[in-house]
Amino acid sequence: MRVTSTPVADGDVRDLAALRPAWLTVDLDALRANLELLGRHVSPARRMAVVKANAYGHGAAEISRALAAGGVEWLAVALVEEGAEVRRAGVTTPILVLGTVQPPQVPLVRKFGLVPAVASASQLAIWVEAAAGSAKPLAIHLKVDTGMSRLGIPPEELAAALEIVRRTPHLHLAGLMSHLAEADDLESPHTPVQEARFAALRELLTPAERESVLTHIANSAAALHRPLGGCDLVRLGLSLYGADPARRMTGLRPVLSASARIVQLREVPPGTRAGYGGRWRAARTSRLAVLPVGYADGYSWHLSHGADALVGGRRVPLAGAVSMDMVLLDVTDTDAVEGDVAVLLGRQGEEEITLHELADRAGTVPYELLCLLGQRLPRRYLAAGNCTALRSRLVERVR
């Protein structure tokens, strides 16, 4: 286990009742089960857990600690600041920075023991200069573009980049990587083309480098559904959090759910309009429930049209547009009372609202919905049926 301590995070609170009646629940047992399942699936390749964007909205500190305790071999972030946050949480697992690093950030990379993904000649020059003043080797991964046309060294420049690394003292090539553009489309002809390009580029490594350099191109979809082609490492993001991007694999457990208590109920006569723009109109005598959660919390306005919630274990429709801080539900066909818990994402009884369902209703991708979940919502972490942590950064800010 690569956790040096378990410090109390900013905003640690002990009582959910002291917070607003809307919250996220993060199931750490489900996270660990997914990590183990994926580990068996991709073995002998090692696992790199992607915890960028606050661990896809789940909370980077707690998620990283749980993954480290579960034996994950690598973590990945997008920003140097994200890597620093994970380090401050007491995690010592190797961390790859997937995004670009600017020269003023080099001291932070060194301080927190991060590994940069180097994706251009200009970025490589930054690390050549940094290595010149370093007393110990600086590890990097070289990223090559095989068809994403985003970050990455052009394939025709990789040989020269490798030579620069080889002749630079204290600069250590720890990895060679690329990124797939269409892996979640299992019928895409582009993915095998990218994989073949990457396999050919791996041949530029010396025999000694092939023994020590980690090679990786597979994201969740590729790791779940494609041969790994001899790569040493897979980058697991959405799948760790319980969803298969290609919607094929079973056995993954959703890690996050979103809930809120009904704070007000009202009965309205037929013809009553509700919400901004009066988009909802009562077709009969109806009961409307108010939930204290809205698009400022990451519950997308685009869910205004056709999304459901769960109340008393049954589906109920949203009534009108999602507001910044509130949502209306039509609970006419339930016996709901104030204080009852409504589930916006997750399971209640035999019913479940999945991440893919919400993404489809919002006309977006699951990644965006998770990343929209902001700091206004407290996060309740469960392990073995017990609440192990309750985090609210907003509470900390007003103390």
C-alpha distances in Å from residue 59, one per residue of 62, 236, 390: 6, 16, 11
Q: What angle do CA 258, 260, 264 make, to 5 degrees?
A: 160
Question: Running DSSP on this structure, what letter comes out for residue 241?
Answer: G
Burial of 350 (0-12, 13-18, 19+ CB in 10 A): exposed
User: In sequence order, what E strands does 207-326 have?
Assistant: 214-216, 233-236, 256-261, 264-268, 273-274, 280-281, 286-291, 308-311, 314-317
The catalytic residues are 52, 276
d(CA 393, CA 391): 7
Whether the Cβ atoms of residue 259 and residue 342 lie closer than 8 Å to each other: yes
Q: What amino acid is encoded at 216 in this protein?
A: H
Cβ neighbours, 10 Å, residue 358: 22
The residue type of 74 is: W
∠ CA 27-13-93, nearest 5°, is 55
Cα–Cα distance measured from residue 355 to residue 378, given in angstroms and rounded to the nearest whole number: 19
* Signed CA dihedral, 387, 389, 394, 398: sign only: positive
